[in-house]
Structure 1
Amino acid sequence: MNQYRDDSVSVEEYFRIRESADSLLEYIDGLVYMSPSPSTKHQRVSSRLQTKFGNFLEGKSCEVFPAPYDIELKDDTIEGTKIVIPDISIICDKSGFTDARYVGVPNLVVEILSPSNQSHDLITKLNLYMSYRVKEYWIVNPMLNTVTVYALNDEKMYEQFDIKTDTGEITSKVLAGFRINLRHLFRE
């Protein structure tokens, strides 16, 4: 995840920059971040997760939204504008939908790491999602075949709920009963 510009820009300028940009751009407190193009393995993992979440949520009130879909994080107690493009978002509160994006806080967010964006997803976004109280944050590392699930505890801090590498089933605290086999998720 590369910072697109070093100087602060307004949200209006961000939208103008995005119109002419070929890559996905995120906006966090005046800074514009460029997402790397996803790898083949990244896209396979994303597709499998999206399908599994979609099948699990069929007939339920929550929906799955794959990238690219803008999430404007909104909490009246937090200042600033943050527009992120998670790899996968699970949204249960329908009140935040607009024609262009979702404004609010998803229930679950998945970020799939790329070699160039690890610190952004592991540090910046983890803290961002925790401060906005995203109930569950999945970090998927296709280079190590690892999935780490963080869930908010009673103190509104993330704690590791589940972690698996290579084998086993990863589960969700927020989506009770959801599970996915890592061999299936990471197979070539």
Structure 2
Amino acid sequence: MPDLNYYEGNMTVEWVNGIKYMSPSPHPNHGRVYSKIFNTIFSYLEGKSCEVFPDKTDLSLSDPKSPINIVDIKQPIVPDLFVVCDKKYELVGNNIVAIPDFICEIVSPSSIKMDNVIKKELYLSKGVREYWIVNYYDKTITVCFDGKESIFSFQDEVRVSIFGDLAVCLKDIRLFDEN
């Protein structure tokens, strides 16, 4: 099997709609927000039929029951984190082949348009049930679910709608001052 490692030096490489994008390592605030969200979801899912996949996991955004297109495998997308329920995924090389139930992207300066427009359209068009865009610059969480978009503050307890009884609150997160 060919080497499917898409990280070149300190850059993450991903493919969105057939276009190759490279992004630098994120700011430490990205890591703090990511850790809080990932750990909250990971703890909640313990013993449940859903699995959370961390950043740097290559995702081929396809139904694993359909024939897998080699282009999808060679051109993965790399969300910050995603959840797949009921084992509706397949591992092919280094790629998870799935349509996740939940995806969360944490905005970086270089990814604002990508996360808010391009990836949002892609994820929702492929059948992702819930998509979060977390912006630590303005301390907001945009939730796309069931055809609606809602914006929350880091002060709010934000429900992960696909679960109902899981909420994430970022009000106590310590962020570095970026001035």
**TMscore range, shorter length:** 0.7 to 0.9
Aligned mates of 1:73, 1:89 — CA distance in 2: 11
Q: In percent, how many aligned pairs have the same letter?
A: 34
Q: Relative contact order (alpha carbons < 8 A, sep ≥ 6): 1 or 2 greater?
A: 2
User: Within the alignment, does 1:90 sit opposite 2:79 as a pair?
Assistant: no
CA deviation profile, 1:92-124 (whole Å, cap 9, x unmatched): 142423151210201100000001110011110
Secondary structure of 1:46's match?
Answer: helix
Equivalence for 1:159: 148
Please provide the CA RMSD for this pair: 2.3
Equivalence for 1:65: 53
Aligned mates of 1:35, 1:165 — CA distance in 2: 26
Aligned mates of 1:15, 1:32 — CA distance in 2: 14
Which segments of 5 or more consecutive residues in structure 1 lack a partner in the other structure?
Answer: 1-11
Larger % of strand: which?
A: 2
Aligned mates of 2:106, 2:19 — CA distance in 1: 21
TM-score under structure 1 normalisation?
0.80
Number of matched residues?
166
Q: C-alpha displacement at 1:15, in angstroms?
A: 4.8
Q: Which amino acid aligns with 1:187?
A: R
Instruction: Say if 2:155 and 2:171, in contact at 8 Å, map to a contact too.
Output: yes
Instruction: Say if 1:36 and 1:114, in contact at 8 Å, map to a contact too.
Output: no
32-41 or 109-118: bigger deviation? 32-41
Secondary structure of 1:148's match?
Answer: strand
Instruction: Give the 4+ runs in structure 1 shifted more than 4 A.
Output: none
Instruction: Say if 1:46 and 1:87, in contact at 8 Å, map to a contact too.
Output: yes
Aligned mates of 1:29, 1:96 — CA distance in 2: 20
Equivalent of residue 160 in structure 2, options 150, 155, 172: 172
Equivalent of residue 95 in structure 2, options 98, 101, 110: 101
TM-score under structure 2 normalisation?
0.83
CA deviation profile, 1:19-72 (whole Å, cap 9, x unmatched): 7x2211111343111123111110000011110001111110101111110110
Equivalent of residue 128 in structure 2, options 124, 134, 149: 134
User: Within the alignment, does 1:41 sit opposite 2:29 as a pair?
Assistant: yes
